[in-house]
Amino acid sequence: MITEIGHFSLVLALFVALAQASVPLVGAARRNLGWMEVGRSCALMQFVLIGLAMLALMHAYMGSDFSVINVAANSHTDKPLLYKITGVWGNHEGSMLLWVFMLSLCSAAVALFSSNLPPALRARVLAVQGMIAIGFLLFILFTSNPFLRTFPPPPNGNGLNPVLQDPGLAFHPPFLYLGYVGFSVAFAFAVAALIDGRVDAAWARWVRPWTLASWCALTIGIAMGSWWAYYTLGWGGWWFWDPVENASLMPWLAGTALIHSSIVVEKRDTLKSWTILLAIMTFSLSLVGTFLVRSGVLTSVHSFASDPARGTFILLLLIAAIGGSLTLYAIRAPALKGGGLFAPISREGSLVLNNVLLSCGCATVFLGTLYPLFLDAMGGPKLSVGFPFFNRTFVPMMVPMIIALGVGPLLAWKRGDLIGALQRLWVAYIITGLVLLVAFYVTNGGPVLAVLGLGLAAWLAVAVLTELADRLKLFRIPFNDSVKRAVNLPRAAYGMSLAHFGLAVSVAGFSASAWDREAIEIVPIGGSVALAGYELRLDSVDRVPGSNFIADQATVRVTSGGAPVALMHPSRRFFTLQKQTTSETAIRTNLLSDLYVALGESDTAGNWTLRVYWKPLVPWIWIGCVIMAAGGMVSLSDRRWRVGVARKTRVAPGAVPVAGE
Amino acid sequence: MTRALFLLPLLLFAVVAGYFFTALRPSHDTRELPSALLDKPAPAFDLAGLGSDKRLTLDGLKGRPSVINFFASWCAPCRIEHPVLMRLAKQDKVAIYGISYKDKSEASTNFLTTLGDPYRQVGLDPDGRTGLNFGVYGVPETYVLDGNGVIRKRFVGPLSAEAVDRELLPLLKKLGAS
């Protein structure tokens, strides 16, 4: 019964979406306020209806209702409750439902928090959101319905893929989808602006918080996915340039470019048509990512459902959404007039450079993901792509970006003083030089690229701090005045520094992976492995029953120079239902390095394979991502975004607050 | 002129979309990408062996059907595929030869000692030249050769247990592998 209610609300949501996509649009064209406002109530209604559908499916999972095909195919009575719930989106149908749920969440947020938007713009934005919802609701109802029943119900379910039974992966999709779908708001704003034919600073100010919020979610989502791969796959890798990972990296790169180019629109009223194009591209890449994963066009290990019928449907959806918006762009964008002029060496210039490099990086990833198949379709020569390709193309493009990133924020708007900026960075030169020397000495002439990477990270970190100190006029004016400046500095400035600093931390983490050490040894119980100054003794391996698996759990005693450090428990889980083994690694981190132990197979003589890795700075990769996302969040809390609201409520003349910087 | 520039994104997208359509054709199964070399003699190769002085050559493979698997330690799908190869090796129906593609020899050794070595012999293809001759465009890729060194089948991407049972083993039976 509850399942049917969910099914019914989903159908109802489709009809509400039809209204949301049409009525406000007509209203905006005819300047009929009542019709325009329909968009808001429709968006809220949609959120309630799709939320109901989501809860209904969750209910079916929690109650293990195996008459629902989707539950039978993906759940099992023995599964822990947490994974019954997260199992809702651990499969194709459920994850698409999560997708539209996130979309309705974004639309509802626009409807609720947009009192300061011109009604026509809001109506158009919500209408575009409605159109996207129609497409995806049709897709779910016709090709991937999670509410279908079967009779007689099977006695028990097939269970969730054991690899997915993991907290890291359980919460990875919601963040990722929030990021993907959140970009639909920027997309809707772009399309609405094209219909309207007007893009100005106010428009950029409305779009930016949405873009920032989705960017933060996507950053966290990607970091979680990479962290999951790191600790579950059992060999310490954290990024594989797999098509599915690339599918999430592309919108992230485009979104990062969008955040920066919209600053230029906001502050200097220029780069408009480029920003609109980026907004369209960012969401398009999210859609393409969905298409690649779901259609089976690319063979990838992650894609859980690939089906040509679904692929065709998503492709038609892509053509409608991307083709439609780009057509509109081709017609309307030439009329958008650029505003302020600027010299190549200026803050705008540096943001343009950032955009060029990020877009090229994104294009490289796109080509690397699709080019091999492209060439084949045209009967061209064969080309192979993998880790080496991306390391040779993408990485060199990011190096100049990071170097420029140190200087860019120090340049003034309109016309910057490059020499002056470079002079102010003297501390950065010294520290970068020191880091390079120390890294080179410690690693005894080790991998040169990694030493350079560490130098790059140091450069960026110090440059960010220099820029912040510069803003506070630290050591140049009395300390108390600097504190005063610090208090008055807009949050957006802190957000930027924090995000850039986070990138530096991550870069250090990426680079240091060249110094990983590993030992793979077959040891008897009581035997030990020595690595990087640690001594790891295999005390015992015990068989431990789990909820829906049997585990071989090892106890590894770690000592350093005789002093006890830790007890670690890597294990192997055998999932009886799926006859599949997963490896649960044990990781001990001191935030500077990870000691990573994975238990391998045992031989007939009772010896066990132990894989031990020592990974310096590897936690910094994810710490950096969290700092970046935190930077986005701090920037999001800037009062500048709330200025519009204040303006509306405060009627008193002269009380108009001045936007931060 | 500037107007045409604004049309560019749309045109690029049209190309991509057109390509996606061809990729979705029912006849176009990405897991069974037709090899231009299908039913043609495999390109000759002569590769340094991994962990032995014996070189891996095409002539050395001839006489009996064989399976050639291109892999790399940096390739995640190869790790997914690996248990399938181990199982196939245990069945002992066919000789599996590995070609370590664009990889360092220490890294490949490490990969095989960690996970197990399903290969009868491994050849090193550090610059990917042999891969290029075969038309490999991503690892893992697997080729089935008959006793005369003619390519009879190509598998793109990780070999699944079903593909082995449904396609590879029947094909080997037909080719007369013992």
Residue A658 distance to chain B (closest CA, Å): 36
A392 with A447: CB under 8 angstroms? no
Chain A residues whose CB is inside 8 A of the B116 CB are: 601
Percent of chain A scored above 70 by pLDDT?
Answer: 90
Q: Do A330 and B10 touch (CB under 8 A)?
A: yes
Q: Do B9 and A327 touch (CB under 8 A)?
A: no
Global pTM reads 0.82
Alpha helices in A272-407 (DSSP H): 272-295, 308-318, 324-332, 347-377, 387-407
**Confidence at A425, pLDDT banded by 50, 70, 90:** confident
| DSSP H/E element including B88 | helix B76-91
Q: Which fold has domain B27-175?
A: Glutaredoxin (3.40.30)
Residue B18 distance to chain A (closest CA, Å): 10
A253-304 pLDDT tens trace: 999 999 999 888 888 888 888 999 999 999 999 988 777 766 555 543 333 3
Domain residue spans in chain B?
27-175
Q: Do A374 and B80 touch (CB under 8 A)?
A: no
**Cα-Cα-Cα-Cα dihedral sign, residues A283, A288, A291, A292:** negative
Q: What are phi and psi of A517, to 5 degrees?
A: -120, 145
Q: Do A277 and B9 touch (CB under 8 A)?
A: yes
* pLDDT on residue A300: 39
Closest residue, chain A, to B112 (C-alpha): A520
Sole residue written with tokens 């009329």: A335
Q: What are phi and psi of B70, to 5 degrees?
A: -85, 125
CB A626: neighbour CB atoms within 10 A? Answer: 15
Chain A interface mutation, best of B2, B27, B29, B30, highest count of A Cβ atoms under 10 Å = B30
Mean pLDDT of chain A: 84
Chain B residues whose CB is inside 8 A of the A280 CB are: 9
Sole residue written with tokens 């194709």: A92
Closest residue, chain A, to B10 (C-alpha): A326
Beta strands in chain B (DSSP E): 46-47, 56-57, 66-71, 95-101, 121-125, 141-145, 151-156
Chain B interface mutation, best of A382, A389, A581, A602, highest count of B Cβ atoms under 10 Å = A382
Q: Higher-confidence residue: A649 or A538?
A: A538
Q: Lowest mean pLDDT: which of A208-212, A609-613, B20-24?
A: B20-24
B115-162 pLDDT tens trace: 888 999 999 998 888 888 887 767 788 999 988 889 888 887 778 777
Chain B residues whose CB is inside 8 A of the A611 CB are: 114
For residue A178, what are its two tokens?
């929030």
* pLDDT on residue A378: 55
A470-488 pLDDT tens trace: 888 887 888 888 888 888 8
**Confidence at B28, pLDDT banded by 50, 70, 90:** very low
Q: Do A326 and B10 touch (CB under 8 A)?
A: yes
**Confidence at A376, pLDDT banded by 50, 70, 90:** low
ipTM of the complex, rounded to two decimals: 0.79
Highest mean pLDDT among A124-133, A288-297, A569-578: A124-133
Chain A residues whose CB is inside 8 A of the B16 CB are: 288, 370
What CA–CA distances, in Å, run from A195 to A102, A170, A188, A285, A317? Answer: 25, 39, 10, 22, 20
The DSSP line for A446-502 is --HHHHHHHHHHHHHHHHHHHHHHHHHTTTTS-HHHHHHHHHHS-HHHHHHHHHHHH
- One-letter amino acid of B69: N
Q: Which are the contacts of A178, defined by CB distance < 8 A and separation ≥ 6? A: A102, A105, A214, A217, A218, A221
Q: What region does A11 belong to: left with phi over 0, alpha with psi -120 to 50, or beta?
A: alpha
Q: Which residues of B touch A (CB under 8 A)?
A: 2-3, 6-7, 9-10, 13-14, 16-17, 19-24, 26, 30-31, 33, 72, 74-77, 79-80, 101-102, 110, 113-114, 116, 128, 131-132, 135-139, 156-158
* pLDDT on residue A284: 93
